[in-house]
Amino acid sequence: MDQTYFKKILADLKRGLISEEKALSAIQNFSYESLGFATIDHHRQLRQGFPEVILCEGKTPQQISIIAKKIVERGSMLLATRASKKDFAAVRKVVKNAHYKTDARTITANEPKLSPLTKRMILVVTAGTSDIPVAEEAVVTAKMLQQKVETMYDVGVAGIHRLLNQSDKLHKASVIIVVAGMDGALASVIGGLVRVPVIAVPTSTGYGASFGGIAPLLTMLNSCAAGVTVVNIDNGFGAAYAASLIAKS
Amino acid sequence: MDQTYFKKILADLKRGLISEEKALSAIQNFSYESLGFATIDHHRQLRQGFPEVILCEGKTPQQISIIAKKIVERGSMLLATRASKKDFAAVRKVVKNAHYKTDARTITANEPKLSPLTKRMILVVTAGTSDIPVAEEAVVTAKMLQQKVETMYDVGVAGIHRLLNQSDKLHKASVIIVVAGMDGALASVIGGLVRVPVIAVPTSTGYGASFGGIAPLLTMLNSCAAGVTVVNIDNGFGAAYAASLIAKS
Amino acid sequence: MDQTYFKKILADLKRGLISEEKALSAIQNFSYESLGFATIDHHRQLRQGFPEVILCEGKTPQQISIIAKKIVERGSMLLATRASKKDFAAVRKVVKNAHYKTDARTITANEPKLSPLTKRMILVVTAGTSDIPVAEEAVVTAKMLQQKVETMYDVGVAGIHRLLNQSDKLHKASVIIVVAGMDGALASVIGGLVRVPVIAVPTSTGYGASFGGIAPLLTMLNSCAAGVTVVNIDNGFGAAYAASLIAKS
Amino acid sequence: MDQTYFKKILADLKRGLISEEKALSAIQNFSYESLGFATIDHHRQLRQGFPEVILCEGKTPQQISIIAKKIVERGSMLLATRASKKDFAAVRKVVKNAHYKTDARTITANEPKLSPLTKRMILVVTAGTSDIPVAEEAVVTAKMLQQKVETMYDVGVAGIHRLLNQSDKLHKASVIIVVAGMDGALASVIGGLVRVPVIAVPTSTGYGASFGGIAPLLTMLNSCAAGVTVVNIDNGFGAAYAASLIAKS
Amino acid sequence: MDQTYFKKILADLKRGLISEEKALSAIQNFSYESLGFATIDHHRQLRQGFPEVILCEGKTPQQISIIAKKIVERGSMLLATRASKKDFAAVRKVVKNAHYKTDARTITANEPKLSPLTKRMILVVTAGTSDIPVAEEAVVTAKMLQQKVETMYDVGVAGIHRLLNQSDKLHKASVIIVVAGMDGALASVIGGLVRVPVIAVPTSTGYGASFGGIAPLLTMLNSCAAGVTVVNIDNGFGAAYAASLIAKS
Amino acid sequence: MDQTYFKKILADLKRGLISEEKALSAIQNFSYESLGFATIDHHRQLRQGFPEVILCEGKTPQQISIIAKKIVERGSMLLATRASKKDFAAVRKVVKNAHYKTDARTITANEPKLSPLTKRMILVVTAGTSDIPVAEEAVVTAKMLQQKVETMYDVGVAGIHRLLNQSDKLHKASVIIVVAGMDGALASVIGGLVRVPVIAVPTSTGYGASFGGIAPLLTMLNSCAAGVTVVNIDNGFGAAYAASLIAKS
Amino acid sequence: MDQTYFKKILADLKRGLISEEKALSAIQNFSYESLGFATIDHHRQLRQGFPEVILCEGKTPQQISIIAKKIVERGSMLLATRASKKDFAAVRKVVKNAHYKTDARTITANEPKLSPLTKRMILVVTAGTSDIPVAEEAVVTAKMLQQKVETMYDVGVAGIHRLLNQSDKLHKASVIIVVAGMDGALASVIGGLVRVPVIAVPTSTGYGASFGGIAPLLTMLNSCAAGVTVVNIDNGFGAAYAASLIAKS
Amino acid sequence: MDQTYFKKILADLKRGLISEEKALSAIQNFSYESLGFATIDHHRQLRQGFPEVILCEGKTPQQISIIAKKIVERGSMLLATRASKKDFAAVRKVVKNAHYKTDARTITANEPKLSPLTKRMILVVTAGTSDIPVAEEAVVTAKMLQQKVETMYDVGVAGIHRLLNQSDKLHKASVIIVVAGMDGALASVIGGLVRVPVIAVPTSTGYGASFGGIAPLLTMLNSCAAGVTVVNIDNGFGAAYAASLIAKS
């Protein structure tokens, strides 16, 4: 981050020019950077514990690369979701150490090298193979937020023994992210088996009356298992972000 | 049924006035009775194996009682669904031996006294207690259609051991009717456990995003377990009718 | 299937090392194979009488070909639905005897060579020409499940004599699958004519207020003919699977 | 109607004070009457051939009775639809010769005593008994518009022989109004049988996935039989009005 | 049409081998031609006065060209709607005298050369320029059905003087087809001005909350002007078919 | 308002204890009053120029009366919308000079006695008589906000001459509020005639496919007349509030 | 709980009749109690840490009272949600120490007397006064689950200073439940201010285009603030249950 | 504009051939130009103060270029929205001085060179970067209508300090256009902060449960801040047009 900004505050504080309170406020108000088309919220890391993340959809490759550069310049980690290969190509030009993960559609840089923040494990489960891209977005996100993550894929309720036989793994998790499309029933079943928070992510896989994810979204909102909360359709990022807040609490 | 009608046909046949084919056709075409406000399809018993059933909703008590009387007069069994107590009061006046079942909201008369048509058992399962009225409509219907019926109530997936511990009963059934509201996940779980047809009935129980049964309806239509078919919301009658067609096939 | 696995069980049983019960359980629990991105439910054939089927949509050609290979390696029949030509190309490389059917969009291999399981016939009817691809998915599925199948295409209710003139064929069927888009009225008309179960498949053909199949879906769910059950929009596979469960019961 | 108004125009015309053109214009512009809460369109009879009709829903009994009185005072026929008994009570006080029809929920007065305008017959058909109130609204409306009307009730497609056996009647009609709820399939079947315009009226009868009439509305809009047009759910009045315009053309 | 078929009937009739009634029935039952993927309803011309029309969407070019050839071979006029250029190319190969109209997306052949059936004029009106393709489908259809057609394009209510200034033309029409997207208000305004039936066609033009035509569809169904009936979104063909039935009545 | 609070600020200012800036800030920050179940935003009058308004729906009569009392105690004008008679009875007990308007369902007190703020006139127009209650809510609101208001009721587009003949009044308005249900077409027509902002209020009147106001809502959002903005269904208050902001600007 | 059951297990264990493992399993499998209409999941407390909760809606008062009695007999705490006064009257008869909270619509008994499980505080915030009943359901639930709870009511974003001035309280919470109807914007604003998990509860308050809670549900699912998860409309219980799982983790 | 037309009118007036009134009327009725596929409303500039604007979507490049030419020929300014590059290429050929703005997707010519009509400033605010194209459409429109415009982009509520820190700018605006997708919460927050009209534009950015803009549309319609009105999804043009009407009033 911008060292000068903080150095001056601390110097002023030391010299008694400003109070401790004032210094803290200045730091916390340290704020946004205006690029015309974007107002980067650098303050977020201080306020929420995690830096700003770029949702690529709806932005041009050029806009993404400029924002990415600004974030990386401050030494922050970079996470961009729903990124196309074209977006990555643009970012790559200005952020040399950026990585792209095809199935997760994520661009990352300055990945945390430290060990996970806590011993708590976030388990990411999918009902089917088609749900994996959304699950992988969650995996990448949680790792960037320095969480410990494990996965259990393709264990939908149509063959429930696949799930029940791995109940040990379920019981080891501190938070479980359930990614499912079509009938979305997996969230309710897992929600009824465990005693930890379950975050359900409906996916837009499926066809016909799944209506782009409305079917599993409704299923999950109506889950008869208490302790299940829901995020937007295909929002692997949001689920992992919330799971990380829970795990590090 | 109208004896004269058939007697004449048979007499004509005997005397060689009409061919066997003609006689059969006449019988099969034996048809409807016009009441002005209703055209009773007496022919249905011959054509489909089961007589016409009265859906009370939308009809006046007087209309219901007149139709009921006509059906009973022909010696047919009487089944009226979605009947209010007021409807029953009107029917009772003209069909002395009619019975009313409060939770199922059914009126019946001339109930079949014979033993079930087949050894096949139709199992009616509910996810919750609130789903029982719809399930009971199915039970009454199946019994009127001379089927063997058993029930397993309140075994929703939030406590899946309640279901798994009774898997013996599941495996004894020839057709299973799954009645569930809210997340409707039970149909998928049962569909994945058994090798018989499962008919799913979404119910309008629940609140908020269950949208009067849309949530479980969509869940069931998107069931990832093959072999699950679906009927209208709260349509216990329809499920039992289809199940009976399957069981007696 | 994996012979060694079962041979050992049976040998153990014979030598009295395990009880009959234990052996049965071991066989029935014979289970899933984890590929990381997929957990193949080999157990399904024992549990449900039919092996697992691959829904290609949402999976990469590579994933499909790996799963297909695993299934075929165990000697099971292969059925993959909603397969693109690209998917087939990938499968073809690892499953030499695979076949592709363009209109049905199915990949098959190890097709059953035996005669149908029962004398019962499943009749697949369409309202229009545009509904044929969905109907063909049903036909392929039913044949893979060793059923006897016949078809009657383009007999929608706008020219009802086309249907009524072929009523003989209708009456010969044990289960009827009605595939229709737009007004979906055909399911009700056929449901009212026959005494066997009717499985209705709404299709996404049509335009405007058919809303991708919602119109015929609602029509079919509200069918005033009893005995009609419904599957997901365009779900020819599901209809045929349920029909096969009924036919072989 | 207000005699003085027209008398003066005609007198002026006769005396050469105004031209023929001017007189016609004055008559055609003879127009609305403002009551503060309502602006009665007396002009409609001249412009459209039929006088204004009161839709009672949403109006207070007092407002209805005042409008009714104004209409009757001009010697026009009175038709008020969706009227409650309370509405009628209010109208009765100021329009002594008003009549109420319970099932149609209509108030009428100054009913036309003349014979029908044309020999053309409007046939009103319903799929079920529950659709009759909407059908009766159509019957009353058509009669008020001096049309010849016949009815055929409860001939839904689940028992299609009830309809086919009365095809003579169908073929005698000049316009057919098909009133149906639930699957709404009757409109397509009739539309395919006849060579006259069919006006389809979806009804809000039924339950569950009929969604208050959305199901039959969509069915009818997607009718695969050409020549079918649709009006609003439960809009018997609108169907009869359009049918009358057609019949008198 | 197939001459032999009818010749034989007439010969039989002449020789007294069949009754007049029988002959008529044979002719009227003259029926469908099965192509496997299609069951052509040749009977429609006799039953409904107009021959069968091909809806190209959902059919392959090959299927369309085979059906087209069969229709033309019988000497019937050919009308195919929603045809792509690719569809036309296929038809052209087998029906040399076929024509394609780009904006209307229609293929025609054996166009009627006779003068219109009646003096009645069908007026096709659009609210905007974007609605013209749907309007042109209506124009082509009406002309194929031997109607007299006129047009009035881009007279939406945002500049209502454009409409009012042409009211003469409105009053000359016997039926008016109003084609409008977005707010769909034009149907109500015209419906209130004229005394002839108005058929409203909502279009899928517009964006955002027009939801592919749902907005104008609902507007038109709720038209406060009596005499307006509605067809499916973008269904110019259906509107013209119904209008022709009305005009020739 | 709380005199002590402001007196102290002003006294402090006078004595030089606080700066002018500080005083202004203190006044502007003068803020909310916490009642446990409600946090009254007294600040709103300063911030937005109009005091807080009570939306009664969802509040108990007791809650409403307590809030009303607090508002009146500060000398502010009181406006409560969607109030039942029961709500009014409770308010009346604590605010003796409160008034209730039945059709508008409003409670008011401390009504402004001054003349309107500007010479600008807000015109409130309805399509039908059923729309008047919503219109009256707008009228009461605008008057409480010291605006000049006029009305024009029941001039829907089905009889467009009723509107065109009063175009003078339309052209005198500075802002026009158009209240319409069903087809909601009036907003587009008026929007096309005038050169001032039009605020459209869809109403929940009507039946069937008006879906509680969705139909006119969509019509208005898709208005082809530029300059039309829309508020929530039945939100007469919101329209008048926005219109007042415009008129006083 | 049923002492005898466990005593026997422990005695058996002590005597070496069963292994430790077996004993644990027996305890964990200690399971459900079948009442015919309900299958009480007594096991839930062991499996999930919290006992079963009764959702009263859809159950008869008699059913509720029987289940309540069974739960209380085992010494478990009782929580019944969405309970009417009639439900409470029935419960009161069999559970003497039961309490009813009118605004929360909850019945409780055997309330926990211990101090909260953790020092973590769950903050329940509402946007308006109308949202309080749902919030109170959350408060009661969290307290029954032995959590520390605080509230902040009526701080919606239309007067955002009400919220910002209390930001201290926001920052003290470990989990925040945001209850809001209408625009539901409060969840996003709070989600952006804090670094703890936010659980959003949309409510069915409001009117018109809030569509019974769909508007705030969608707003919350689309929250641009990461860390926000959502539960069903009006589901205060579910939010508090999930919050408690988080707080005690 | 067409000089001859007006010259003749004025000459006639001068010579006393027509009255002043008549002349005014003739000028105001100066009207539309019919191109067959379009009826240009040249009158709009006189009636509404702004000329007609071309919505390119749904029109062919050729149609657009012809209309554009006609508008420019009369010396009017040209504004075409939702224009593709292909549309621009066609226009460029006939209107040499036309300009294209890629992000706004607008074609303009004869841009006003005068200073803004008033000192009032329209502020265009976006929640995110993805909302900028819609905002730019508004900016271009407002400038063409000779308004003073400023922008504030990417200040969504997830980082609310970005907005609050720029409150000065908010308070300087006379009308504020808020462009936001996803949760659309920004409109409510700004609506609560300012005392000027806020026009909210929902955008179709986002994914999943934003349903192409339905989520922010509903949020905005349900805004708990009074003074917020809403236009169609992505309708930057409409918002700016209404804002301009307000600003110049």
Summarize pLDDT for B80-125 with one digit per residue, the tens: 999 999 999 999 999 999 999 999 999 999 998 867 777 899 999 9
Do H and D touch, counting CB pairs below 8 Å (3 needed)? no
pLDDT in the model for residue C3: 47
Chain H residues near any Cβ of chain E (below 8 Å): 29, 31-32, 36-39, 41, 43-44, 52, 55, 57-59, 63, 67, 82, 202, 204, 212-214, 217, 232-235
Is the pLDDT higher at F218 or at C48? F218
CA–CA separation, D124 and D147 (whole Å): 12
Q: Among H196, H221, H242, select the one facing F245 at the smallest CB separation.
A: H196
Which chain C residues have a beta carbon less than 8 Å from that of D212? none
Q: Bridge partners of G40?
A: G33
H helical segments located in E20-119: 20-29, 44-48, 61-73, 85-94
pLDDT tens digits, one per residue of C90-102: 999 999 999 999 9
User: Considering only CB atoms, which chain E residues are within 8 Å of F128?
Assistant: 224
Q: Which chains touch G (3 or more CB pairs under 8 A)?
A: A, B, F, H
The mean-pLDDT minimum among A240-249, F12-21, F103-112, H235-244 falls in: F12-21
Instruction: Write out pLDDT tens, residues A143-159.
Output: 999 999 999 999 998 88
| pLDDT value for C20 | 66
Q: What are the two backbone dihedrals, phi and then psi, of residue C118, each rounded to the nearest 5 degrees?
A: -135, 175
CA of A156, closest CA in chain B: separation in Å? 8
Residues of D in contact with E50 (CB under 8 A): 226
Q: What tokens does F46 get?
A: 């300063």
Cβ separation F32–G162 shorter than 8 A: yes
Of E135, E196, E185, which is closest to residue E163 (Cα–Cα)?
E185
How far is CA H104 from each of CA D63, H133, H137, H181, rounded to the nearest angstrom? 51, 5, 5, 17
G115-148 pLDDT, tens digit each: 777 789 999 999 999 999 999 999 999 999 999 9
Q: What is the pLDDT of residue C127?
A: 95
In tens, the pLDDT along H79-126 reads 999 999 999 999 999 999 999 999 999 999 999 886 777 789 999 999
pLDDT of residue B110: 92
Query: Which of A154, A155, A208 is opposite residue C204, by nearest beta carbon?
Result: A208
Helices of type H across chain F: 3-14, 20-29, 44-48, 61-73, 85-94, 132-144, 161-164, 167-172, 186-193, 214-221, 236-247
Read off the pLDDT band of D38 (50, 70, 90).
confident
Q: Are H193 and F47 in contact (CB under 8 A)?
A: yes
Q: Which of F101, F94, F97 is nearest to F109 (CA)?
A: F97
| Yes or no, beta carbons of D130 and B57 under 8 Å apart | yes
Interface test with E, best of F154, F188, F189 (most E CBs within 10 A): F188
Specify the pLDDT at position B180. 96
Q: Tell me whether strands E78-81 and G228-230 are parallel, antiparallel or unpaired.
A: unpaired
Q: Do C49 and B195 touch (CB under 8 A)?
A: yes
Percent helix, strand, coil in chain G (nearest 5)?
A: 45, 20, 35
Nearest CA in chain E to D191: E48
> For E160-178, how does the pLDDT look when each residue is reduced to its tens digit (9 = 90+)?
888 887 888 999 999 999 9
pLDDT for E3: 47
Phi-psi region of B193 (alpha: psi -120 to 50; beta: other; left: phi over 0): alpha
Q: How many beta-carbon contacts under 8 Å exist across F and H? A: 94
Rounded to the nearest angstrom, the minimum Cα separation between D149 and chain B is 15
C179 and C141 in contact (C-beta within 8 Å)?
no
- For H171, the token pair is 């308070």
* Nearest-angstrom CA–CA distance, D84 and D81: 9
Mean pLDDT of E79-99: 97
pLDDT attached to residue F21: 66
Partner residue facing B174 (CB), from C230, C242, C249: C249
- Which of D198, D201, D192, D203 shows the shortest CA–CA distance to D246? D198
Mutation target to probe the D interface, by most D beta carbons within 10 A, among B29, B32, B235 is: B32
Q: What is the pLDDT of residue B2?
A: 39
Under an 8 Å CB criterion, which residues of C touch D? 127-128, 156-160, 181-185, 187-189, 191-193, 206, 208-211, 214-216, 218-226
Average pLDDT, chain A: 88
Main-chain dihedrals φ then ψ at residue B238, nearest 5 degrees: -60, -40
Chains E and D are in contact, defined as 3 or more C-beta pairs closer than 8 angstroms: yes
pLDDT of C32 above 70: no
Euclidean distance between CA atoms G122 and G125, whole angstroms: 10
Residues G162, F58: C-beta atoms closer than 8 Å: no
Residue ranges of chain D whose CB lies within 8 Å of a chain B CB:
128-132, 153-155, 158-159, 161-162, 165, 181, 205-210
- Is pLDDT larger for residue E6 or for residue B168? B168
**Which residues from chain F sit within 8 angstroms of residue G131, using beta carbons?**
58
Asked if residue F205 lies in contact with residue F131, where contact means CB atoms within 8 angstroms, the answer is: yes
Give me the interface pTM, i.e. the ipTM: 0.87
Q: Cβ of D232 and F208 within 8 Å?
A: yes
Lowest-confidence pick of A62-76, A93-107, G169-183:
A62-76
CA distance E33 to E50: 17
pLDDT digits (tens, 9 = 90+) for B27-83: 555 556 777 788 777 666 666 667 789 999 999 999 999 999 988 987 889 999 999
Say what the alpha-carbon torsion angle E4, E7, E13, E19 is, to the nearest 10 degrees: 60
What is the spatial distance between Cα D155 and Cα D152, in angstroms, rounded to a whole number? 7
Mean pLDDT score of chain D? 87
Q: Which residues, 6 or more positions from D219, have their beta carbon under 8 angstroms from its beta carbon? A: C183, C184, C185, C215, C216, C218, C219, D183, D184, D185, D187, D188, D202
- What value does the mean pLDDT take over residues D32-58? 76
Q: At what angle do helices B214-221 and A214-221 cross, to 10 degrees?
A: 130
* Residue of G203, G232, G233, G234 for testing the chain B interface, max B β-carbons within 10 Å: G232
Is pLDDT at A3 greater than 50 in this prediction? no
Strands E121-126 and E106-109: unpaired
Closest-approach residue (CA) in chain F for H190 = F48
Contact (CB, 8 A) for E207 and E184: no
**Interchain CB distance below 8 Å, C161 and E31:** yes
Asked if G158 and F38 come within 8 Å (Cβ–Cβ), the reply is no
Q: What is the pLDDT of residue F7?
A: 64
* CA angle (B135, B136, B138) in 5-degree steps: 65
> CB-based burial of residue H15 (10 Å sphere; 0-12 exposed, 13-18 middle, 19+ buried)?
exposed
For residues D67 and D83, what is the distance between their CA atoms, to the nearest angstrom?
13
Q: What is the pLDDT of residue C59?
A: 95
Q: Is the pLDDT of residue C21 over 70?
A: no
Among the listed ranges C41-45, E2-6, E197-201, G215-219, which one has the minimum average pLDDT value? E2-6
CB contact under 8 A, E242 and D229: yes
Contact criterion met (CB below 8 Å) for E138 and E115: no
Cα D21 → chain centroid: 33
How far away is chain E from the Cα of D15, in angstroms, using its nearest Cα? 29
Average pLDDT over residues H29-56: 72
Average pLDDT over residues F95-117: 91
Instruction: List, for residues B157-204, the tens digit of each pLDDT value.
Output: 988 888 887 888 999 999 999 999 999 999 999 999 998 999 999 999
* Angstrom distance (rounded) from CA H236 to CA H140: 9
Neighbouring CB atoms inside 10 A of E16's CB total 7
Q: Tell me which of B179-188, D164-173, F24-33 is least confident.
A: F24-33
pLDDT at H20: 66
In chain G, residues with a C-beta closer than 8 Å to the C-beta of F55 are: 130
- In angstroms, the Cα distances linking C183 to C211, D200, E137, E229 are 11, 13, 21, 18
For chain H, what is the radius of gyration of the CA atoms? 20
Do the chains contact at F226 and H238, CB–CB below 8 Å?
Answer: yes
